[in-house]
Amino acid sequence: MGDLMQGKRGLVMGVANHNSIAWGAAKALASQGAEIALTYQGDAFGRRVKPLAAEIDSRLVLPCDVEDPASLDAVFDTLKREWGSIDFVLHAIAFSDKSELKGLYADTTRENFTRTMVISCFSFTEVAKRAAAIMGNGGSMVTMTYGGAVRVMPNYNVMGVAKAALEASVRYLAADFGPRNIRVNAVSAGPVRTLAGAGVSDARLMFNYQRRNAPMRRNTTIEEVGGAVLYLMSELANGVTGEIHYVDSGYNIMSMPALDELKE
């Protein structure tokens, strides 16, 4: 175990199971000495998250549904009461109706557009505001995004629009909180096999396509994403804010499929 995060306390939101990106990040942060509080969405996830919390000695495991502002208030009230202040927060939360993560973006309904935006984008602003209020001596916030925010990915649809707004939120929040030495960044991960990832139609095809065409010819792991989150949360990234940091085996730099793929 290293000590990059020794003496630091923070909140990790979005662990659903051991495949979750948030779990990769929680493990990386804990391995460097961070004390971590976890949230879970509802009792069914709670039953999966509590044993994981025990693995990283996380004693604060709190329910939170970001559609309900009162449940967010309760989480931050508890953190303030138990710890007084926090040093970091990871937001790894997204949702959209599966039936709209396929077909045409143009067919997105007003109801699902709004819900997707609230859960996948605005909740980060709501979390950031509450977290900043209990960050004493500076801090670091990270959210999770995807390349579908800046380029069209088939079927990603309304989630791509929400991620674009989320990435813009990162920049505005970084400007808001920078004077208080609070940094705000996003990690843009390549496709990972998770519950949320599986909600996108043809996810398996996109997963395989990235593996064959990314410069490193492999998919992204939750451990790799966790390493980048750890860096952004740690003092190694003290000069970094407002960034969208890609952890995608380099896929985002390519403008066309790999030549070996085309020659096959």
The residues of the shown chain that bind ligand NAD, judged by CB under 6 A, are 14-16, 20-22, 41, 45, 64-67, 92-95, 119, 144-146, 189, 191-192, 194-197
DSSP string, 75-86: HHHHHHHHHS--
1 neighbors 31 (Cβ within 8 angstroms): yes
Comparing CB distances to ligand NAD, the nearer of 118 and 258 is 118
Alpha carbons within 13 angstroms on the beta-carbon side of residue 127 total: 33
Beta-ladder partners of 144: 187
Shortest Å, Cβ 179 to ligand NAD: 27
Comparing CB distances to ligand NAD, the nearer of 33 and 154 is 154
217 neighbors 185 (Cβ within 8 angstroms): no
Nearest alpha-carbon partner for 82 in 56, 62, 54, 66 = 62
Strands (E), the chain: 9-13, 35-40, 60-63, 88-91, 139-145, 182-189, 244-247
Could you tell me which residues come within 8 angstroms of residue 15 by beta carbon, excluding any fewer than 6 positions away? 22, 23, 26, 38, 39, 40, 49, 52, 92
The identity of residue 216, as a single letter, is M
Q: 10 Å Cβ neighbour count for 190?
A: 25
Comparing CB distances to ligand NAD, the nearer of 98 and 180 is 98
Shortest Å, Cβ 37 to ligand NAD: 14
* Residue 182 Rama label (left phi>0; alpha psi -120 to 50; beta): beta
Comparing CB distances to ligand NAD, the nearer of 55 and 67 is 67
Comparing CB distances to ligand NAD, the nearer of 26 and 264 is 26
SS3 at position 184: strand
Could you tell me which residues come within 8 angstroms of residue 3 by beta carbon, excluding any fewer than 6 positions away? 32, 33
Shortest Å, Cβ 46 to ligand NAD: 10
Active site residues: 146, 156
Shortest Å, Cβ 181 to ligand NAD: 26
Shortest Å, Cβ 148 to ligand NAD: 8
Comparing CB distances to ligand NAD, the nearer of 188 and 241 is 188
SS3 at position 40: strand
